[in-house]
Amino acid sequence: MKISQSHPRFESLRTRELLVQAVINGIVAPQGLLAHGRGEAFDYLIGEKTLPSARKAAKVAAASLLLADHPVISVNGNAAALVPNELAHLASTIPADIEVNLFHRSLEREKKIASVLKRLGIKNVLGVGAEASTRILGISSPRRNVDPDGQGRSDVVLVPLEDGDRTLALRKNGQTVIAIDLNPLSRTAQQASITIVDNITRALPILVTESRRLKRQDRESLRRLVRDFDNRKNLESTIREIIAYLGKWNR
């Protein structure tokens, strides 16, 4: 559907159309549309802009990815449809591996997502088909199958738009989990090591910019950034920022 740029909700409608097309092309699961709707509702509550607490979390997340021995970016259907270029930029800046990891798993969709990323210059996309031969203990969903060369041996994992079951299992394994989730109350948001409560479409460009900037800084200052960050406190700041924003509507 052609959307007029003059429509007051142009960006939102454009994103929806992108996802609908991605369902038709077999990149996004139909359930991804429902997940997006839930995300959009939370985006309204944060004023559809990046909150200061999210900016802070994104900076710490970039530092953590840069410090990692083996950082991995986990990609699902929605992430591949909404921010493919930014995922590729982030992977090459850090540098990090990219692994396809789906909740609604199908080999066909894994291959399609991998080819989107390969077209953007990612040579080796992990986690496709039989490559995901390691099981993460404590997960009942199909997300449990991971690539031994990716999440199987990673120390820091970025999980945009998670469904909740994997974060705790990875953390129990001693891995650092960076989540991007518009819902600050979700299990993923609450259990991650670093939670960026923002739209993936805004968070990824910030992560890329911060990674490029922080890459020039010495490792000790990056370590300090990560050490001084408290995810629980930052999530409390997020809730306070949302309440302050909603207070402006209570005129």
Q: Which stretch binds ligand PTJ (CB under 6 A): 18-26, 46-54, 123-131, 180-188?
A: 180-188
Closest distance of CB 213 from ligand PTJ, Å: 23
> Residues 33, 18: contact at Cβ < 8 Å?
no
Pair 198, 47: CB distance under 8 Å: no
> Using CB under 6 A, which of 19, 62, 88, 161 touches ligand PTJ?
161
Per CB under 6 A, contacts with ligand PTJ among 31-50 are 31-32, 35-36, 38-39, 42
- Work out how close the CB of 57 gets to ligand PTJ at its nearest, in angstroms, rounded to a whole number: 13
**Alpha carbon of 69 to those of 25, 72, 137, 238: distances in Å?**
35, 10, 22, 30
Report in angstroms how near the CB of residue 17 gets to ligand PTJ at its nearest: 14
In the complex, least distance from residue 147 CB atom to ligand PTJ, rounded to whole angstroms? 15
Contacting residue, 90, 94, 158, 182, with ligand PTJ by CB under 6 A: 182
Tokens read off for 86: 């930014």
Instruction: Write out the binding residues for ligand PTJ, residues 184-203 only, by CB under 6 A.
Output: 186, 199-201
By rule CB under 6 A, what string of x and - marks binding of each residue 116-155 to ligand PTJ?
----------------------------------------
Distance between CA atoms of 231 and 73, rounded to whole angstroms? Answer: 20
Radius of gyration for the alpha carbons in the chain, expressed in angstroms and rounded: 17
Q: Is 1 exposed, middle or buried (0-12, 13-18, 19+ CB in 10 A)?
A: exposed
Distance separating alpha carbons of residues 116 and 113, to the nearest angstrom:
5
Which residue's CB is nearer to ligand PTJ, number 36 or number 59?
36
Cα separation, 125 vs 251, whole angstroms: 51
∠ CA 173-203-8, nearest 5°, is 145
Q: Name the residue nearer to ligand PTJ (CB basis): 131 or 181.
A: 181
CA torsion sign, 178 to 182 to 188 to 193?
positive
User: Residues touching ligand PTJ: how many (CB under 6 A)?
Assistant: 25
Q: Strand, coil or helix: what is 146?
A: strand
Which of the stretches 3-11, 66-74, 158-166, 238-246 binds ligand PTJ when contact is defined by CB under 6 A? 158-166
CA distance 222 to 170: 23
Q: How far is the CB of 77 from ligand PTJ (least distance, A)?
A: 3
Closest distance of CB 192 from ligand PTJ, Å: 12
Q: Which single residue is written with the structure tokens 């200061």?
A: 52
Which residues contact ligand PTJ (rule: CB under 6 A)?
29, 31-32, 35-36, 38-39, 42, 76-78, 102-104, 161, 163-164, 180-183, 186, 199-201
